């Protein structure tokens, strides 16, 4: 039965996407298609050491294009990294960006594109539709199966003055091309695979219950839940196959199509605040938070959560809403445990003041707007406290 969300106008924006083994090696050909002469490759210091990386650079240089390598990107990309990259982009007269890596290099590359074209400071563009001019052509080559920055309208940048992650949400940051190649996933450490996989699952679940979801986003969200829950456990094993990693990459891609257009929810709002203040891995934060928000949100999106449960092949017969709610929470919790993500952050100490600050900024996060339940500050504080002071 169509609900109110389904009757409203919805848009659906995705970039050109090429999927398949060795798709990354098409980078050079597409640089030529865009007519670029000098390419800034934005990546990080781990990616450049990977065996599959040189083929990307070679594919560009073989076509007589110059390459400026920018690797000064850290996990949770910082505002000053974006500003430095923009200076170098302009100083070297680059005319196209290729981002290679997980969410951090891709978000940093989006920021570099924004500032090099629009001027000012990257944080001037925080919020929804604040970017006026499109940046230079952007080709993304994701090397993790989770972030989906390669297809999304989001760029998340840390404000290093306040240690808060700022969301820039705009059609102008959707890349021009995503080369979706499973080969880089085979060298991902298992814990990174687990965290990025839980990030993808969170994207799919939050998109599926978002107040801004649509028929188009639902299709992708549900397929993503199926692919990620079927493959994540195998993806963290030493004997993982290219086929398994391709399924994870496709799961992440479908989740990206869904959340980029339906937006996200409270898991990401709380994760941005948590990861920004304490500089924690984004996927780890989502993985730890997800089950708590499913429990709180369930009564506010019952039919959508039941669709998700069916995608996870959970038994639906002879169970009431409360039993189905607990069953879904337990299934997500069990998956998190099986892939090695903890349920708390015991090594991290926080003060009540920091929890209060995190709760305040989570409530202000743009992702909170589309959460099916309007959370109170007390509820947010209670969730954060469980991460640091488990109740047994």
The alpha-helical segments, DSSP class H, found in the chain are: 4-7, 27-33, 54-61, 79-91, 103-118, 190-209, 215-235, 242-262, 266-278, 282-297, 302-311, 321-338, 352-364, 377-388
Stretch touching Fe ion by CB under 5 A, among 84-92, 198-206, 335-343, 351-359: 198-206
Cβ proximity to Fe ion, 39 vs 185, nearer residue:
185
Cβ proximity to Fe ion, 150 vs 199, nearer residue:
199
Stretch touching Fe ion by CB under 5 A, among 116-124, 188-196, 197-205, 293-301: 197-205
Residues binding Fe ion: what is the number (CB under 5 A)?
1
CA 371, 150, 199, 208 dihedral sign is positive
What SS3 state is found at 152? coil
Cβ proximity to Fe ion, 199 vs 365, nearer residue:
199
Distance, in Å, from the CA atom of 115 to the CA atom of 138, rounded to the nearest integer, reads: 14
Contact 213, 262 (CB under 8 A): yes
Cβ proximity to Fe ion, 156 vs 328, nearer residue:
156
Compute the least distance from the CB of residue 59 to Fe ion, in Å. Answer: 29
Compute the least distance from the CB of residue 10 to Fe ion, in Å. Answer: 21
Nearest to residue 21, comparing CAs of 245, 221, 230?
245
Cβ proximity to Fe ion, 39 vs 109, nearer residue:
109
Cβ proximity to Fe ion, 143 vs 306, nearer residue:
143
Compute the least distance from the CB of residue 30 to Fe ion, in Å. Answer: 26
Structure tokens at 370: 């589309």
Stretch touching Fe ion by CB under 5 A, among 194-202, 204-212, 327-335, 356-364: 194-202
What SS3 state is found at 369? helix
Nearest to residue 117, comparing CAs of 94, 98, 140, 101?
94
Compute the least distance from the CB of residue 113 to Fe ion, in Å. Answer: 20
Stretch touching Fe ion by CB under 5 A, among 65-73, 164-172, 193-201, 347-355: 193-201
Stretch touching Fe ion by CB under 5 A, among 83-91, 196-204, 214-222, 328-336: 196-204
What per-residue string of b and e applies to 125-143 under the rule 16 or more CB within 10 Å gives b? bbeeeebeebbbbbbbbbb
Q: Phi, psi (5° rounding) for residue 158?
A: -85, 130
Binding flags for Fe ion, 26-65, as an x/- string (CB under 5 A): ----------------------------------------
Nearest to residue 176, comparing CAs of 149, 142, 147, 137?
137
Compute the least distance from the CB of residue 69 to Fe ion, in Å. Answer: 26
Cβ proximity to Fe ion, 94 vs 264, nearer residue:
264
199 binds Fe ion (CB under 5 A): yes
Nearest to residue 71, comparing CAs of 113, 32, 99?
99
Cβ proximity to Fe ion, 111 vs 136, nearer residue:
111
Compute the least distance from the CB of residue 352 to Fe ion, in Å. Answer: 27
Closest residue to Fe ion, based on beta-carbon distance = 199
- Binding residues vs Fe ion (CB under 5 A): 199
């Amino acid at each position: 039965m169509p609900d109110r969300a389904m009757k409203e106008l919805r848009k659906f924006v995705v970039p050109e996407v090429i999927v398949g083994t060795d798709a990354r090696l098409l980078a050079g050909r597409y640089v030529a298609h865009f007519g670029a002469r000098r390419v800034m490759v934005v990546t990080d210091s781990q990616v450049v050491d990977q065996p599959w990386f040189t083929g990307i650079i070679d594919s560009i240089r073989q076509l007589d294009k110059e390459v400026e390598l920018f690797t000064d990107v850290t996990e949770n990309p910082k505002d000053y990294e974006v500003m430095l990259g923009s200076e170098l982009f302009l100083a070297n007269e680059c005319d196209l960006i290729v981002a290679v890596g997980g969410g951090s290099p891709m978000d940093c590359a989006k920021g570099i594109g924004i500032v090099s074209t629009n001027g000012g400071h990257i944080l001037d563009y925080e919020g929804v539709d604040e970017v006026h001019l499109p940046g230079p052509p952007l080709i993304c080559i994701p090397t993790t199966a989770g972030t989906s920055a390669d297809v999304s309208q989001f760029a998340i940048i840390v404000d290093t003055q306040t240690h808060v992650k700022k969301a820039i949400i705009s059609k102008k940051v959707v890349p021009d091309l995503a080369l979706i190649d499973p080969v880089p996933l085979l060298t991902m450490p298992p814990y990174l695979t687990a965290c990025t996989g839980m990030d993808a699952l969170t994207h799919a679940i939050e998109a599926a219950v978002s107040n801004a979801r649509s028929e188009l986003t639902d299709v992708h969200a549900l397929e993503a839940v199926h692919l990620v829950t079927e493959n994540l456990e195998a993806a963290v094993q030493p004997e993982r196959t290219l086929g398994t990693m391709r399924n994870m990459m496709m799961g992440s891609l479908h989740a990206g199509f869904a959340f980029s257009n339906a937006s996200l929810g409270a898991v990401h709002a709380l994760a941005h605040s948590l990861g920004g203040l304490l500089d924690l891995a984004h996927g780890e934060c989502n993985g730890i938070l997800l089950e708590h928000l499913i429990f709180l949100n369930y009564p506010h999106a019952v039919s959508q959560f039941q669709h998700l449960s069916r995608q996870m092949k959970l038994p639906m017969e002879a169970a009431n809403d409360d039993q189905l709610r607990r069953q879904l929470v337990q299934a997500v919790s069990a998956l998190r445990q099986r892939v090695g993500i903890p349920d708390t952050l015991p090594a991290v100490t926080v003060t009540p003041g920091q929890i209060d600050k995190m709760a305040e900024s989570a409530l202000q996060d743009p992702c909170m707007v589309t959460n099916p339940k309007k959370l109170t500050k007390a509820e947010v504080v209670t969730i954060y406290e469980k991460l640091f002071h488990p109740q047994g």
